[in-house]
């Protein structure tokens, strides 16, 4: 008797820059295109490091439990590849990081699957509604409306100005987000995110 396998949603580790909706097509007046590219580049480095951390945790669990030697080798190899990728973006001059692509504002579009795993270069601008339920830090999960317990998940990878506290708990925001990295680990969708002050558009 045949059984249809349950489709496992792709794990998306997408670093985003969250910006006020009104600024979705361009950076703030005091923020140059170079500043935006540098923020996106740094967020990509952070996103890769978050994925390295995830694979390192998997490797440690495999080594401390019943993980197969094959899986341990795969985790080690993936970590080596990610470290090389992180080094490439860490050394990349800001001028070499391309300007982001502005897509048509559409809240649902944030759930579109990216075309490939890894760095999303150029970064893709999307729109979503986020309710801030707890104070955010790097790696924090964003409460993006329309997601479910099975994903996709979006995590904070950086923020212009370096202050994630600009997004206040108990507040609902409509945000433009720059997707900069998509990861394929296993299980469910995940995402990393960064935000840019000043305040985004509040949604009631």
The answer to whether 94 and 38 have CB atoms below 8 angstroms apart is yes
Res 119: pLDDT: 86
Tell me if residue 17 falls in helix, strand or coil.
strand
Task: Report the distance separating Cα 20 and Cα 199, nearest Å.
Answer: 7
Task: Report the distance separating Cα 156 and Cα 149, nearest Å.
Answer: 18
- Beta strand 141-142 with 201-202 is unpaired
If one counts every other C-beta atom within 10 angstroms of the C-beta of residue 156, the result is 27
The answer to whether 86 and 45 have CB atoms below 8 angstroms apart is yes
Res 195: pLDDT: 46
Res 117: pLDDT: 76
Task: Report the distance separating Cα 116 and Cα 110, nearest Å.
Answer: 15
Res 19: pLDDT: 52
Task: Report the distance separating Cα 115 and Cα 94, nearest Å.
Answer: 24
Placement of tokens 């694979």 in the chain: 55
**Residue 5 tokens, joined:** 């396998």
Res 191: pLDDT: 45
Per-residue pLDDT 10s for the chain (204 aa) are: 444 444 444 444 444 555 544 333 334 445 678 888 888 899 899 889 988 998 999 999 999 887 789 999 999 999 999 999 999 999 999 999 998 886 654 545 555 555 567 888 888 887 778 888 899 888 788 888 887 777 777 878 877 667 777 788 888 888 777 888 887 644 333 444 444 433 445 555
Placement of tokens 């790097």 in the chain: 138
Res 14: pLDDT: 47
Res 122: pLDDT: 86
Burial (CB count <10 Å: 0-12, 13-18, 19+), residue 57: exposed
pTM of the model: 0.76
């Amino acid at each position: 008797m045949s059984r249809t396998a349950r489709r496992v949603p792709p794990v998306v580790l997408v670093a985003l820059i969250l910006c006020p909706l009104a600024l979705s097509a361009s950076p703030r007046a005091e923020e140059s295109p170079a500043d935006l590219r540098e923020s996106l580049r740094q967020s990509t480095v952070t996103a890769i490091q978050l994925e390295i951390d995830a694979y390192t945790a998997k490797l440690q669990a495999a080594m401390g439990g019943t993980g197969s030697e094959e899986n341990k080798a795969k985790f080690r190899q993936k970590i080596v590849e990610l470290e090389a990728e992180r080094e490439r973006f860490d050394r990349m001059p800001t001028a070499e990081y391309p300007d982001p692509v502005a897509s048509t504002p559409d809240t649902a579009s944030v759930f579109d699957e990216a075309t490939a795993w890894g760095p999303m270069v150029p970064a893709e601008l999307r729109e979503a509604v986020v309710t801030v339920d707890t104070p955010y830090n790097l790696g924090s999960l964003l409460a993006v409306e329309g997601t479910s317990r099975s994903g996709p998940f979006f995590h904070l990878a950086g923020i212009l100005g370096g202050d994630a506290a600009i997004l206040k708990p108990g507040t609902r925001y409509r945000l433009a987000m720059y997707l900069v990295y998509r990861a394929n680990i296993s299980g469910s969708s995940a995402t990393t995110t960064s935000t840019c002050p000043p305040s985004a558009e509040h949604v009631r």
